[in-house]
Amino acid sequence: MSTFGMLANRVLDATLRGGNLSGGNRDQVKEDINEAIKQVDAVLRPARTISVEVLVAGQKDYSLVALGITNATSIRSITYTSVASGQQGALLEETTPDRVRELRVTGQNASWINMYALDGLDTLMVNPANNAVGDTISITYVPRSTALVNETDIPSGLPEEWHDIYELAAIQRSMRQSSPEYAAHYLQMYEHKLDEYRKWRNRRSGALGMTAGVGRYGRRGWRQHDNSADWR
């Protein structure tokens, strides 16, 4: 298990050996660690939060900030519950803002909300607008990592066996300007470790999945597919 203080000591030692932080700027190292954790967690999306929001009848666009979601790095899924139609927990299709705008112009609307898009970093677009009071959406999103402050704080995004991913990312970040070659070496180590973690996570979730295949004489069958190296 790596505490904030332990990570700072190891990153500081590596950067000093790389000729970067003469005199030992530990505060800068801590800042690099927090930025590295945000970077890694945004890529790996280790945590998720569900927020249930009440929609306004007839409204098509919503600010995530107005909905109370201020720390999302990405949206995983949105489900829609319609009071009037009885549509309960329908998973919305994710699409592009341009497609939503096109459908709004052409008037190709369903009887209840069936898709959403993110326009920029903050605006949530739904199509079509709901007409009933009391309709809700459940937004599953990845929250931004909470910054470590105290020496005893422990990163919560990754299992403790994989905390060296944070360490490698922080070292690479610290060395980018003063020692590019040294930073490039640690970047390779970081990317390799990141790939190893993804394979481990996929195997942990079940390494074999069923995929469709076509057999002899056009007969359709199923075979197992090893997804242990899948990038997801």
In a domain, 210, yes or no: no
* Span 10-33, average pLDDT: 78
Q: Please tell me whether residue 40 adopts helix, strand or coil conformation.
A: helix
pLDDT at 1 over 80: no
Confidence category of residue 231, pLDDT binned at 50, 70, 90: very low
* Cα separation, 36 vs 40, whole angstroms: 6
Task: Measure CA 16 to chain center.
Answer: 32
* Cα separation, 105 vs 84, whole angstroms: 25
Among the listed residues 66, 69, 94, 98, the one whose alpha carbon sits nearest the alpha carbon of residue 80 = 94
User: Is 189 found in the same domain as 166?
Assistant: yes
* Cα separation, 151 vs 99, whole angstroms: 48
User: Is 162 found in the same domain as 128?
Assistant: no
pLDDT at 219 over 80: no
In a domain, 82, yes or no: yes
What are the respective helix, strand and coil percentages of the chain, to the nearest 5?
40, 25, 40
User: Is 122 found in the same domain as 106?
Assistant: yes
* Cα separation, 193 vs 27, whole angstroms: 26
**pLDDT tens digit sequence for 112-166:** 789 999 998 899 999 998 888 889 999 999 998 899 999 999 998 899 999 999 9
Residue-level pLDDT at 210 = 54
Q: Exposure of 59 by Cβ count < 10 A (0-12 exposed, 13-18 middle, 19+ buried)?
A: exposed
Q: Which residue among 143, 171, 188 closes a domain?
A: 143
User: Is 54 found in the same domain as 41?
Assistant: no
**pLDDT tens digit sequence for 157-203:** 899 999 999 999 999 998 888 788 889 999 999 999 999 999 998 88
Among the listed residues 143, 167, 147, the one whose alpha carbon sits nearest the alpha carbon of residue 1 = 167
* Cα separation, 200 vs 232, whole angstroms: 12
User: Is 16 found in the same domain as 40?
Assistant: yes
User: Is 138 found in the same domain as 168?
Assistant: no
* Cα separation, 178 vs 175, whole angstroms: 6
User: Is 164 found in the same domain as 176?
Assistant: yes
Q: Where are the alpha helices (DSSP H) in the chain?
A: 4-17, 26-44, 97-106, 164-175, 180-206
Q: Which has more pLDDT, 204 or 151?
A: 151
User: Is 187 found in the same domain as 165?
Assistant: yes
92 touches 116 (CB < 8 A): yes
User: Is 114 found in the same domain as 130?
Assistant: yes
**pLDDT tens digit sequence for 46-95:** 888 999 999 998 899 999 999 989 888 889 999 999 887 666 778 999 99
Q: Which has more pLDDT, 101 or 130?
A: 101
User: Is 118 found in the same domain as 61?
Assistant: yes
In a domain, 175, yes or no: yes
Domain count, the chain: 2
User: Is 61 found in the same domain as 31?
Assistant: no
In a domain, 221, yes or no: no
In a domain, 148, yes or no: no
In a domain, 24, yes or no: yes
In a domain, 224, yes or no: no
Domain with 83, as residue range(s), is: 49-143
pLDDT at 232 over 50: no
Q: Please tell me whether residue 136 adopts helix, strand or coil conformation.
A: strand
Q: Which residue among 143, 166, 187 closes a domain?
A: 143
pLDDT at 207 over 70: no
User: Is 33 found in the same domain as 59?
Assistant: no
Joined together, the tokens standing for residue 138 give 């459940």
Residues belonging to the chain: 232
In a domain, 34, yes or no: yes
